Amino acid sequence: MTATSRHRRRAALVIAACLPAAMLGALGTPAARADVTTTPAPTSPVTVTYAVGTDTGAPEIRTAVASSEQGAVNLVRTLRSVPGVQAANVTVPMHRLGTTVNTAAIDPSVASQWGLRALSFSRTQAWSRGAKVVVAVVDDGVDRTHPDLAGVVLAGRNIVNPGRPVDPGGHGTHVAGIIAARANNGLGGSGLAPGVHILPVDVFNGESATDATVAAGIVWAAKQPGVRVINMSLGGPESTDVLKKACDYARSRNIVVVAAAGNDGARVPSYPASYPGVVGVGAIDRDLSLASFSSIGPQVDLVAPGVDILSTSCALTYETEATDVCPTNPTTHQVRHIYVRMSGTSMATPFVSASAALVASRFPSWSAARIAAELQATARDLGATGRDELYGYGLVQPLTVLRGVPTAPQGTSITSDPANSAIRVRWRGVARTGSYGVDYWSVAYRSDGGAWSVAKKLSYAGHACVTTVCSLPFTNVRPGHIIQARVVAVERVSHIVGPGSTAGRWHGPDAGNTVDSARALGLVAPGNSASDVIATGSDVDWYVALADGLEVSIDDPAPGHTITVFDASDTTTPLASDDTQNLGSGNPLVIASTGVTTTYLITISGSAAPTTPYRVTVAPLS
Segment holding 248, helix H or strand E: helix 241-252
Q: Tell me how far apart the alpha carbons of residues 232 and 137 are, in angstroms, rounded to a whole number.
A: 6
Tell me which of 171, 174, 507, 561 is the catalytic residue. 171
Q: Output the CA torsion sign for 98, 99, 101, 103.
A: positive
Q: Which of 128, 346, 353, 355 is the catalytic position?
A: 346
Non-local (6+) Cβ contacts of 404 within 8 A are: 434, 435, 436, 491, 493, 520
Among 529, 554, 567, smallest CA distance to 604 is for 554
Return the amino acid letter for 68.
S
Q: Please, is 547 exposed, middle or buried when counting C-beta atoms within 10 Å of its C-beta (0-12, 13-18, 19+)?
A: middle
| Bond before 272 cis per omega within 30 degrees | yes
Whether residue 495 lies in the annotated active site = no
Determine the 3-state secondary structure of 69 from DSSP. helix
Catalytic residue flag (residue 346): yes
In degrees and rounded to multiples of 5, residue 337 shows phi and psi of -85, 130
Nearest to 72 by CA among 92, 99, 93: 92
Whether residue 481 lies in the annotated active site: no
* Cα 171 to Cα 326: distance, rounded to the nearest angstrom: 10
Assign residue 404 a region (left: φ > 0; alpha: ψ between -120 and 50; beta: otherwise).
left
**Under 8 Å between Cβ of 271 and 239:** yes
Beta-bridged to residue 610, according to DSSP, are none
Name the nearest CA neighbour of 215 among 177, 241, 195: 241
Identify the helix (H) or strand (E) that includes residue 116.
Answer: helix 114-118
SS3 call for 172: helix
Catalytic positions, written as ranges: 139, 171, 346
